[in-house]
Structure 1
Amino acid sequence: MRRFPYGRALVTGASSGIGEGFARRLAGEGVDLVLVARRGDRLAQLASELGSRHRVDVEVMKLDLTDEGDVAAAEERLAATERPVGLLVNNAGSSGSGYFADLPVDREVRTAVLGTLVPLRLSHACLPRMIGSGSGGIVNVSSLVAVLPKPRSATYAASKAFMSSMGESLAMEVARHGVHVTTVHTGLTRSEFHTVAGVSPDTLPSIKWLTPDQVAQAGLEAVAAGRPSVVPGRAYRIRLPLMRAMPRSVVRTVMRRVHKA
């Protein structure tokens, strides 16, 4: 029996990093894929590799999910009854580093849209069909910063708080229908994400870094088991309850020092 009981998965932000990690892990389990990202050349290369290596069917959708027409195309694919998608991985995102007032507003809006409206719309597109069939799953790739203030990444942290709250609520709503929603609260994960955001890993706390495969494995095992949330990595699993238990004034002091705000 397949460990991850989904015949086909749609993964956003699949061209690199955590999204690519999910794609590779799912293909290794024999799950067919729909890969979504802006970089079509990378998607095509990944699709060719995974299809050849694992004998799975891989569709490529070159989409910019901040574009109205492109997000509508993703919604249509998720709602389709032909070759239905049994698992949605909401992973696409963007970020930037700097004081909010100094950053270009269009970049901040893009971060907010990808972290809030896109997972909302894609989840809404697939849930009615999943509920009707009595099976399916959604994985939301969030972050530990969902429960923290994060100066110099205010919009990113706020969007992850939205995603985590929505994911927990949806998990409660749809569990009785046999549909699982899992939110993955990641720590520092080695990928292009920090480089693109303009953040040097050398400036970040010296905590154990995760790999995309570790995040993907934890998320997929959790959604298959029906767990509403998961924190990859033992060190981060210990830290999250401590952060939640600390007085907010203490949290703000720590984060101010860490991020030199």
Structure 2
Amino acid sequence: MPRALVTGASAGLGAQYAEQLARSGYDLILVARGEDRLQALAGTLTGRFGGRCDVLPADLSTPEGLALVEGRVASDDEPVDLLVNNAGFGTKGEFLASPVESEQQMLDVNVTALMRLCHAALPGMVRRGTGGVINVASVAAFLPSDTGPGYAASKAYVVAFTDSLAVTLQGTGVHVSVVCPGFVRTEFHERIEQDVSWIPRWAWLKAPEVVATSLRDHRAGRHRSVPSVKYKSVVQVLRVVPRAALRRVLVKSRALQHRPD
């Protein structure tokens, strides 16, 4: 059976990747900080689909946790065929009010851990002439952000990094792809106490559909996946709109939000 390692697997998109990959016949290695939720998910998936499901509790923002997962994806004894770099989070509030430690921790997970896990996994995949990586980014990668500049920048890194890896790995038999969803119904916004009441219902995506689209695009050899026609259109527009114009719109929006009644 092929084997996949999924980070941030205990909830949201990560749990969906685990479920859909298990349904497709993958053995799994589930990575997240909370062991109880991982064990519960592993038990459910094993009961439903019958494959092997190992849990690897680790905090990717710490050197010890990251080293543990690096060692696992680099192992040749039980090689990982697909790495899903899904773990990531945003910070609460605006950048100037956010503790610098929180900003650093976010970069440690969203950027450093993702890069290092790719660096650990890919040499073995290239030697074997097969394998893949899916990196989870966001449509936020293509936009300036007034409330989460660090998050948007971290996801821009993921997109640029994956684009470049796709060139580096051309002809090796190893495929990398990046998925850029818009707003998804998960625990993400609740965890950072972000007000999402202003977001229209049509803008929301469902986690199962996002994951199914990204897996389909990955298997088809596409290196960039933007789930849903509406967000594909958004990204196409953002490619041609000058960044200066986007910044002006954002500045005007902030001015309206902070205008006295």
Match of 1:228 in 2: 223
Match of 1:45 in 2: 40
Match of 2:120 in 1: 125
Taking a change above 3 Å as real, the CA distance of residues 206 and 252 of structure 1, as seen in their structure-2 partners, is farther
String of CA shifts for 1:182-234, please: whole Å, max 9, x gaps: 00011000000000011122033554211111111111112212211010011
Identical aligned residues as a percent: 39
**Partners of 1:105 and 1:154 in 2: CA distance:** 13
Residue 69 of structure 2 corresponds to residue 74 of structure 1: yes
* Alpha-carbon contact 1:186-1:215 (below 8 Å) kept: yes
Deviation of residue 106 (structure 1)?
Answer: 1.1
Residue 5 of structure 2 corresponds to residue 10 of structure 1: yes
* Alpha-carbon contact 1:94-1:110 (below 8 Å) kept: no
Residue 164 of structure 2 corresponds to residue 201 of structure 1: no
Match of 2:104 in 1: 109
| The one of 74, 86, 94 aligned to 2:89 | 94
Structure showing greater Rg: 2
Q: What residue identity is the alignment partner of 2:32?
A: A
* Alpha-carbon contact 1:205-1:258 (below 8 Å) kept: no
Match of 1:219 in 2: 214
**Partners of 1:110 and 1:81 in 2: CA distance:** 30
* Alpha-carbon contact 1:63-1:71 (below 8 Å) kept: yes
Deviation of residue 115 (structure 1)?
Answer: 1.1
Match of 2:163 in 1: 168
Structure 1's consecutive aligned runs of 4 or more residues displaced over 6 angstroms after TM superposition are: none
Taking a change above 3 Å as real, the CA distance of residues 250 and 51 of structure 1, as seen in their structure-2 partners, is same
Match of 1:3 in 2: none
- SS of the residue aligned with 2:89? coil
* Alpha-carbon contact 1:96-1:198 (below 8 Å) kept: no
- SS of the residue aligned with 2:179? strand
- SS of the residue aligned with 1:78? helix
**Partners of 1:225 and 1:178 in 2: CA distance:** 13
Give RMSD over aligned pairs.
Answer: 1.5
Deviation of residue 113 (structure 1)?
Answer: 1.1
TM-score by length of 2: 0.94
**Partners of 1:208 and 1:136 in 2: CA distance:** 33
Match of 1:155 in 2: 150
String of CA shifts for 1:123-167, please: whole Å, max 9, x gaps: 000100000011100000000111110111111001001111000
**Partners of 1:216 and 1:210 in 2: CA distance:** 10
**Partners of 2:253 and 2:15 in 1: CA distance:** 29
**Partners of 2:187 and 2:251 in 1: CA distance:** 25
Match of 1:65 in 2: 60
Match of 1:253 in 2: 248
State how many pairs are aligned. 256
- SS of the residue aligned with 2:197? helix
- SS of the residue aligned with 2:87? coil
Match of 2:178 in 1: 183
Q: What residue identity is the alignment partner of 1:217?
A: A
Q: What residue identity is the alignment partner of 1:174?
A: L
Taking a change above 3 Å as real, the CA distance of residues 14 and 248 of structure 1, as seen in their structure-2 partners, is same
